[in-house]
Amino acid sequence: MSDNLTIRIQESDFDVAREISALTAGRSDIGAVVSFTGICRGSEDGADIAALTLEHYPGMAEEEIARHASTAMSRWPVTGIRVVHRVGRITPGQNIVLVVTGSKHRQAAFEAAEFMMDYLKANAPFWKRVEAPSGAKWVEAHDHDDAAAARWTKS
């Protein structure tokens, strides 16, 4: 990845402040930074969750995320994007995903971050299994996530 585009998929947790610092280090052209951190909830649709297990296809997932980040960088005047996505077993309260965008102005940073999160939630090549007291099951995509991602393709 270039200095202004970083994609990492990892089992270990991440440090939000460290990622923001890495994006902005030595830069005087960044006037806005937007960060989104997705955290594992302890329940979904009224059912308790013991853990999530996220799997991916190494190499392909990073390439797909980088492709969408490059699209965001060409669509909005952002000066940098960092995406860190965890895989493996994640329990409630733990971080899952981080998107950080930097730009001269806030609107571009907000829109690029939202674009990236809508893509990650609906279309990124991850498989999610939920562990609950009733058993474990693979999670299908939700219509509202697909609709959120689709709005970026409208002209």
Rounded Cα distance between 67 and 72, Å, is: 9
The predicted pLDDT at position 146 comes to: 57
Give domain 5-153's CATH number out of 1.10.287.620, 3.90.1170.40, 3.40.710.10, 3.30.930.10.
Answer: 3.90.1170.40
pLDDT surpasses 60 at 67? yes
Alpha-carbon distance of 122 to 147, in angstroms, equals 9
Q: What is the largest CA-CA distance in the chain?
A: 52
* Domain limits, the chain: 5-153
- For the chain, the average pLDDT equals 90
CA distance linking residue 107 with residue 114, whole number of Å: 11
Task: With a cut of 90, say whether residue 71 has pLDDT above it.
Answer: yes
Model confidence at 44, pLDDT cuts 50, 70, 90, reads confident
Across the range 62-83, mean pLDDT stands at 95
Please give the structure tokens belonging to residue 123: 């279309």
Alpha-carbon gap, residue 70 to 50, rounded angstroms: 35
80-128 pLDDT, tens digit each: 999 999 999 999 999 999 999 999 999 999 999 999 999 898 888 899 9
